[in-house]
Structure formats: structure tokens, C-alpha cells
């Protein structure tokens, strides 16, 4: 966790735009955000109410449910069956061993069911993200913080093993979230 924050401070441009961005800039930023949110690193754990994480992306071959019949349950942390933390331990050491269970300095878990992204369209994800009812009551600024500070989000860019990281960099993603927020969170379907 500490490492992540230090890294973040070094990388994130501190000249965040004070003025509003145009809707056009916002939509361009959203487009990049969508590439991140729909990448396997994020979407695999932003799944719906079947509570089953996915294995997709180049290192998994074909798209399929998480192996071993894993079901994170309504708790979204596996408490009903086998806790995610059984294999995805809490550690801030880098993920070095190929094919082993990735870890973060925190509790491995599925995103809340309202934030279902897997297989969803750009507009679906976009409208969910700006909907306070469905995004955990997060303002645009809160979303920037989430992108910047949550350990499980940061893991998307340092997944280790042979996993392909989320596109762009975490710093670029945070900037995009900021631009998108400043532009009034425009969505493609608006």
C-alpha cells in the first residue's frame, strides 16, 4: 500500500485542470477510461449478481468463469464458500510468481454488484459510474480518489506473472477521471 501511494505521488501530474473541460475532451477521456474499465484486469471482478469472477484476457485462453468453481457469494468476498483471501492474501510485495494467485495490500474482493462492468457497453458503464445510487455515493472527485488510492485498482497496472496490465498507466487513468469529471461526466449515449 505504502509503495503504491509513493509511486502515485511521483507519477501523477499535480497540475490538475482547475477549469472545466469541454464535453468533447470529457468524452475522449471517457473513451480511454472505458478501455481501462472493460479490460480484464478490472472487468473480471466487476461482475454481476451471480457473484462469479471471470477469467478473461490473453493469459487465460478463452473467456471463462474463474476456475475451481469459485463463487464469491453475496458477500462478494467469498465468505459463504471459500474466502477470496484464502489464496489472494494481503501483501504489498510485488506479484512475482507466474500463475499464482495475485495479491494486494488489502482484502481481495469483487466490486459491488451495482458496478457490473463485465460485458457491458461503454454507455452502460459510464452511466453507472456517474450514478450516485450505483457508484457507492461517489462524487466525481471521490472517483478520482478511488482510481488513485484503492490498492485493488492499482493492482490493475501491476498484475504480475504473465497477466497483461490494464491499458495506459494508473497516472494517466487518474488524469482521465479528472478530465471526465471536470467535463461534467459525459457519456456516449447522452
Among positions 5-44, residues that touch other proteins (CB under 8 A) are none
Q: Which of 25, 71, 114, 131 binds other proteins (CB under 8 A)?
A: 71
Stretch that binds other proteins, among 12-20, 42-50, 79-87, 136-144 (CB under 8 A): 79-87
Q: Which among 86, 129, 75, 84 is positioned nearest to 108, based on CA atoms?
A: 84
- Closer by beta carbon to other proteins, 71 or else 124: 71
**Burial (0-12, 13-18, 19+ Cβ within 10 Å), 179:** buried
- Closer by beta carbon to other proteins, 28 or else 82: 82
Give the span between the Cα atoms of 187 and 26, in whole angstroms.
Answer: 8
- Closer by beta carbon to other proteins, 35 or else 59: 59
Looking at residue 55, the DSSP 8-state letter turns out to be E
Looking at residue 161, the DSSP 8-state letter turns out to be T
Residue 95 CB, shortest distance to other proteins, in Å, is 11
Torsion of CA 28, 63, 162, 69, to 10 degrees: 130
Determine, following the binding rule CB under 8 A, whether residue 121 of this chain makes contact with other proteins.
Answer: no
Query: x/- contact string, 84-103, with other proteins (CB under 8 A)?
Result: -xxxxxxxxx---xxxxx-x
φ, ψ of residue 72 in degrees (nearest 5): -80, -10
- Closer by beta carbon to other proteins, 7 or else 89: 89
Query: Which residues here bind other proteins, judged by CB under 8 A?
Result: 67-71, 79-83, 85-93, 97-101, 103
Amino acid at each position: 500500500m505504502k509503495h503504491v501511494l509513493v509511486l502515485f505521488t511521483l507519477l501523477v501530474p499535480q497540475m490538475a485542470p482547475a477549469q472545466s473541460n469541454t464535453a468533447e475532451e470529457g468524452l475522449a477521456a471517457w473513451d480511454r477510461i472505458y478501455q481501462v474499465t472493460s479490460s480484464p484486469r478490472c472487468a473480471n471482478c466487476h461482475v454481476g449478481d451471480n457473484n462469479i469472477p471471470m477469467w478473461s484476457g490473453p493469459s487465460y485462453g478463452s473467456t471463462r468463469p474463474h476456475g475451481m468453481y469459485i463463487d464469491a457469494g453475496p458477500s462478494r468476498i467469498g465468505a459463504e464458500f471459500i474466502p477470496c483471501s484464502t489464496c489472494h492474501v494481503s501483501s504489498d510485495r510485488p506479484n512475482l510468481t507466474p500463475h499464482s494467485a495475485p495479491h494486494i495490500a488489502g482484502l481481495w474482493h469483487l466490486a459491488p454488484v451495482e458496478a457490473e462492468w463485465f460485458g457491458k457497453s461503454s454507455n452502460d458503464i459510464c452511466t453507472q459510474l456517474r450514478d450516485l445510487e450505483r457508484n457507492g455515493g461517489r462524487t466525481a472527485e471521490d472517483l478520482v480518489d478511488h482510481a488513485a488510492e484503492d490498492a485493488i485498482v492499482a493492482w490493475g497496472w501491476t498484475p504480475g506473472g504473465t497477466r497483461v496490465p490494464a491499458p495506459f498507466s494508473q497516472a494517466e487513468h487518474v488524469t482521465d477521471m479528472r478530465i471526465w469529471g471536470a467535463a461534467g461526466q459525459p457519456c456516449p449515449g447522452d
